[in-house]
Chains A and B, each alone.
Chain A
């Protein structure tokens, strides 16, 4: 029998944070088909149209195959030696003239743990700065902040398996059937088999049709919803007194606070009928086991980190944490957004979220790496751009992130990139961001490298190379370690497995991690030295000095933006099933055929008022920018709201998003943007138009 494939590689998907295990099948150096691994713990023999089909990008003709150097304003092909020499020369000059803190780096949440480890070590040890951040800054950094403050670890308390063990679940600010399709499918099946599902989202997401109740709060009012739910739980005697007494601190202040958030009061703020709020609280409170799942609709707000703490409050006051079926499950966005932060690709922490100012920790790293390390926390992503515009930041090394398309306030980002003396981009394609680069390094997709990703359930899973990088492209790990060597700091890490040994030696939560132990099913950190992992956290104690979880008494505060006379509608941004993030990968596959362009969702009432017909090109203007996009009229969205995604550079959605950000983590407020929508051109007509025609 003629074999259809030369090679089959078991690996982990490089799209969303679900962490599907895949069998990548290659023939003559190309991936020709991907099947789900039957024993994948998160996907259990299933995957979605991104993981299964969207792999053609890996052999796109547009892949970067040689280093590029800017000369006289033009990019030209260069050798690795030339590119390396240029980077070393420029970074050394800037460090000499302006100090190491004039240089900043971004690690990629799409890259492996080992890549991110090498990147943060490059910045800290080879350059000498803590100016290292990753794109979780603009998605789930508020979740990380909240979980650490309330419970201890920066990660889900349980696993996707809790979905099937739960009697009820609340999904807030997430659209899993589009953003995390395999988790979405599992939730849908659970709902079809009796899970009592409450969805909370300004849009009527697909899962709302399978749930028992849907609440549609006004954008930016999540805190009021959660305080109202807590109010009803307390009023109805659904507080787990014993658990609160034995395992937590700070509930008294919460009880005082929530007294004011009666369902009536919450209805005023959120627009959710009081009876619906009461019913939702009863469904959650009366369930034997219940979980809470959330996404960026919780975090990407001015008070996103506070709302995530209020979610923890709900689980704590009802004792619904630390058991099968009772979990707090943040749906992490990119494939390794959990891991990139775990690895310490953050300006204020080393791996395992230990502060850079902690003397003991810093000394351990100094001893391992043999160089002095800065005790001063570095800049977060938005601060880097501010500093670049102000002239204080002179160079950036951006690895696997298209900030000019995905970060908010695009005009400001572009100004920052232009202001830099020197920009290095390490990527697989030219992007909106690489347009400003002085050196572009051709890197590898997830199909071309080895290492590990950590999914949304803290599961560290192996990544295997199904094919080779194209042309002269190299793996990110090789690029970063070679560059560090050229900069005078030899990491002594030959392969990703060496990096994992170093990670395990220097990070308590990874102490027992080895590639052999990860095997086919991975391990959920913290992993004890003997290899025991932790599918469920906090069964006995919380990871706080006193062993107790901490309630947070945080009132509702108004969002950073609001509709007014000039900008009467509120724009929410999000994701579409067919595409992934900036679309650099999915737009180079036949997924583009399935969804060729972006659109703006508009309620029929608003459409009629604005004389917009389905398919019309509309202008969307915010306080900071303007885009044009075709309208689609749908009652999945409430009157007064509009929705679009940011997968297409043709529709630079993030031009509209301003500088407002989470007060604690600087995560941008992507989810509340006041806009004005109007037709770009009304149809020329010899006869007077009728308003009802819209």
Chain B
């Protein structure tokens, strides 16, 4: 067993446990965006940053294994400041705030991030409604990779692909000809994990709109 301290509390975890797992098991809440417990840790979004004593800077808790004697501060100001800025940057690329029910909106609330301070280019709206159950709203994609990984690691359909680079990074089914022309088996794991509704259940699109009226 590995012993460490999280927010002043000593905990004991099995070797290989990540800091995120240990913190959550200890009842400490660390916000995440690219993390899904069904998937292997990815470490892309930098929202789960925490402070670790003697570390040169905040570390991603989802990809860091606990070490003996580690002293973790989930509320470390530097970690919170950087993670909050990351969320704000993500929001600044969206044409509109994310729908209230989404994970991204919940994370923004956790960090107290409102209207982003940085105006600039936003992702253009692009919808694909050719599948009866699954809708693409490409303008909402934040390139967290959860859908691609769910497709690979849960279903094993390998139908989704990360496309583009930098600001134009997005996601596509097959060669961007829609779900139905790809290897998609319509399991919906992508919509289930998507934190922004970039991939959403068609039946819920109308619902989300009517609910806010």
Instruction: Tell me whether A594 and B132 are in contact (CB under 8 A).
Output: yes
1/0 per residue, CB under 8 A from A, across B91-114: the answer is 000000000110000000000000
Q: Does A35 contact B (CB under 8 A)?
A: yes
B208: which of A4, A36, A48, A49 is its contact (CB, 8 Å)? A4
Residue contact B211 to A4, C-beta cutoff 8 Å: yes
Given A27-B207, A32-B207, A33-B201, A185 and B155 contact (CB-CB distance below 8 Å): yes
In the assembled complex, A192 has its CB within 8 A of some CB on chain B: yes
Cross-chain contact A594 with B180 (CB below 8 angstroms): yes
**A60 to nearest B CB, angstroms?**
15
Contact with B156, one of A38, A48, A52, A192 (Cβ below 8 angstroms) = A192
CB under 8 Å from chain A, chain B span 179-213: 180, 185-189, 192, 201, 203-204, 207-208, 211-212
Which A residues lie within 8 Å of B187 (CB)? 46-49, 52, 181, 185
**Whole-angstrom CA separation of A14 from B211 in the bound complex:** 29
Contact of B42 with A by CB under 8 A: no
Complex: A48 Cα to B192 Cα, angstroms: 11
Partner of B211, one of A3, A48, A578: A3
B186's contact among A1, A38, A210, A594, by CB below 8 Å, is which? A594
**A184 CB to nearest chain B CB (Å):** 9
Chain A: number of interface residues, binned into ranges: 20 to 34
Residues A35-90 near B (CB distance < 8 A): 35-36, 38, 44-49, 52-53
Complexed CA–CA distance, A190 and B211 (Å) = 41
A44-B38, A181-B187, A577-B185 given; A2·B211 CB < 8 A = yes
* Smallest Cβ-Cβ distance to A189: which chain B residue: B156
Instruction: Kindly state whether residue B125 has any CB partner on chain A within 8 Å.
Output: no
B54 adjacent to chain A (CB < 8 Å): no
Q: Does A593 interact with chain B (Cβ within 8 Å)?
A: yes
Q: A2-B100, A46-B154 are in contact. Are A36 and B192 (CB under 8 A)?
A: yes
Chain B residues within an 8 Å CB radius of A44? 38
Known contacts: A1-B100, A4-B211, A53-B133. The answer to whether A189 contacts B153 by CB under 8 A is yes
| Cβ-based interface call for A506 (8 A) | no
A608 at interface, CB cutoff 8 A: no
A590, B132: Cβ atoms closer than 8 Å: yes
A412 within 8 A of B: no
**Residue A203 at the B interface, CB < 8 A?**
no
- Chain A binding site: helix, strand, loop or mixed by DSSP? mixed
How would residues 134 to 175 of chain B score, 1 for a CB under 8 Å from any chain A CB and 0 otherwise? 000000000000000000011110000000000000000000
Would B38 and A46 count as touching, CB distance under 8 A?
A: yes
Task: Collect the chain B residues with CB atoms within 8 Å of residue A548's CB.
Answer: none
On whether the beta carbons of B192 and A35 are closer than 8 Å, the reply is yes
A192 to B154, CA, bound (A): 11
The distance in angstroms between the C-alpha atoms of A189 and B156, with both chains bound, is 6
Residues of B within 8 A of A594 (CB): 132, 180, 186
Does A188 reach chain B (CB closer than 8 Å)?
Answer: yes
Q: How far is the CB of B81 from chain A (nearest CB, A)?
A: 27
What B residues does A27 contact at CB under 8 A? 207
Beta-carbon contact of B192 and A4 below 8 Å: no
**Chain A residues, Cβ within 8 Å of B132:** 590, 593-594
The CA-CA distance from A577 to B157 in the complex, in Å, is 13
A177-B133 Cα distance, complex, nearest whole Å: 19
Tell me, rounded to whole Å, the shortest Cβ–Cβ distance linking B84 to chain A: 21
Residue ID in chain B nearest A182 by CB atoms: B187
Kindly provide the distance from the CB of A626 to the nearest chain B CB, expressed in whole angstroms. Answer: 33
Please encode chain A, from 1 to 39, with 1 for each CB lying within 8 Å of some chain B CB and 0 for all others: 111100000000000000000000001000011011010
Q: Which residues of A contact B212 (CB under 8 A)?
A: 2
- Rounded to whole Å, the gap between the CB of A23 and the closest CB of chain B is 10
Range of interface residues on chain B? Answer: 20 to 34
**Bound Cα distance A185, B158 (Å):** 12
Contact B188 A52 (CB under 8 A): yes
**A56: nearest chain-B partner, CB-CB:** B203
- Closest residue of chain B to A177 (Cβ to Cβ) is B185
Determine the chain A residues whose CB is within 8 A of the CB of B192 once the complex forms.
35-36, 45, 52
A32, B203: Cβ atoms closer than 8 Å: yes
B37: chain A residues within 8 A (beta carbon)? 38, 45
Q: Is the CB of A185 within 8 A of B156?
A: yes
Bound-state Cα–Cα, A181 to B211, Å: 33
How far apart sit A349 and B100, CA to CA, in the bound complex (Å)?
Answer: 55
Q: Are A4 and B207 in contact (CB under 8 A)?
A: yes
Contact B133 A49, beta carbon cutoff 8 Å = yes
Give every chain A residue within 8 A of B153 (Cβ-Cβ): 189
Chain B residue nearest in CB terms to A44: B38
Residues of A within 8 A of B101 (CB): 1, 4
| Chain B residue at minimal CB-CB distance from A48 | B187
Q: Measured between C-beta atoms, what is the minimum distance from A31 to chain B in Å?
A: 9
> Is the CB–CB distance between B155 and A46 below 8 Å?
yes
**How far is the CB of B151 from the nearest CB of chain A, in Å?**
11
| A590 (CB) vs chain B CBs: closest residue | B132
Nearest residue (CB) in B for A1 is B100
Chain B residues contacting A1 (CB-CB under 8 Å) are 100-101
| Docked complex Cα distance between A530 and B31 (Å) | 40
A49 touches B185 (CB 8 A): yes
Residues of B within 8 A of A36 (CB): 192
Q: Complex Cα distance A332/B133, Å?
A: 27
A590 B133 Cβ-Cβ under 8 A: yes
CA A192 to CA B153, docked complex, whole Å? 9
Q: Which residues on the A side are within 8 Å of B155 (C-beta)?
A: 46, 185
Do the beta carbons of B203 and A33 come within 8 Å of each other? yes
Contacts of A593 in B (CB 8 A): 132
Question: How long is the Cα–Cα vector from A594 to B179 in the complex, in angstroms?
Answer: 11
Q: Which residue from chain B places its CB closest to the CB of A207 in the assembled complex?
A: B156
Return B5 CB to nearest CB of chain A, in Å.
29
> A33 and B204 in contact (CB under 8 A), knowing A46-B189, A181-B187, A594-B180?
yes
In contact, B204 and A32 (Cβ under 8 angstroms): yes
In the bound complex, do residue B188 and residue A185 qualify as a contact, i.e. CB atoms below 8 Å apart? no
Q: Are A188 and B38 in contact (CB under 8 A)?
A: no
Shortest Cβ gap from B148 to chain A (Å): 15
Q: Which residues of B contact A49 (CB under 8 A)?
A: 133, 185-188
Q: How far is the CA of A48 from the CA of B189 in the complex (A)?
A: 8
In the complex, the chain B residue whose C-beta lies closest to that of A187 is: B156
How far apart sit A189 and B153, CA to CA, in the bound complex (Å)? 7
* Chain B min CB distance to A257 (Å): 39
CB-nearest residue of chain B to A592: B132
Collect the chain A residues with CB atoms within 8 Å of residue B207's CB: 4, 27, 32-33
Contact for B154 among A3, A177, A185, A578, CB less than 8 A: A185
CA gap between A590 and B186 in the complex, in Å: 11
Q: Report the nearest A residue to B207, measured CB to CB.
A: A4
Residues of A within 8 A of B154 (CB): 45-46, 185, 189
Selected A-B contacts with CB under 8 Å, 9 pairs: A1-B101, A32-B203, A32-B207, A33-B203, A49-B186, A49-B188, A53-B188, A185-B155, A594-B186
Which residues of A line the B interface, CB within 8 A?
A: 1-4, 27, 32-33, 35-36, 38, 44-49, 52-53, 177, 181, 185, 188-189, 192, 210, 577-578, 590, 593-594
Which A-B residue pairs are the 10 nearest by beta carbons?
A590-B132, A49-B186, A2-B211, A188-B156, A52-B188, A1-B100, A53-B133, A45-B38, A593-B132, A185-B155
Using A1-B101, A49-B188, A53-B133 as known contacts, list a sample of 16 further A-B pairs with CB atoms less than 8 Å apart, ordered by residue number in A. A4-B207, A27-B207, A32-B203, A33-B201, A33-B207, A38-B38, A45-B154, A46-B38, A47-B187, A49-B185, A177-B185, A185-B155, A185-B156, A577-B185, A578-B186, A594-B180
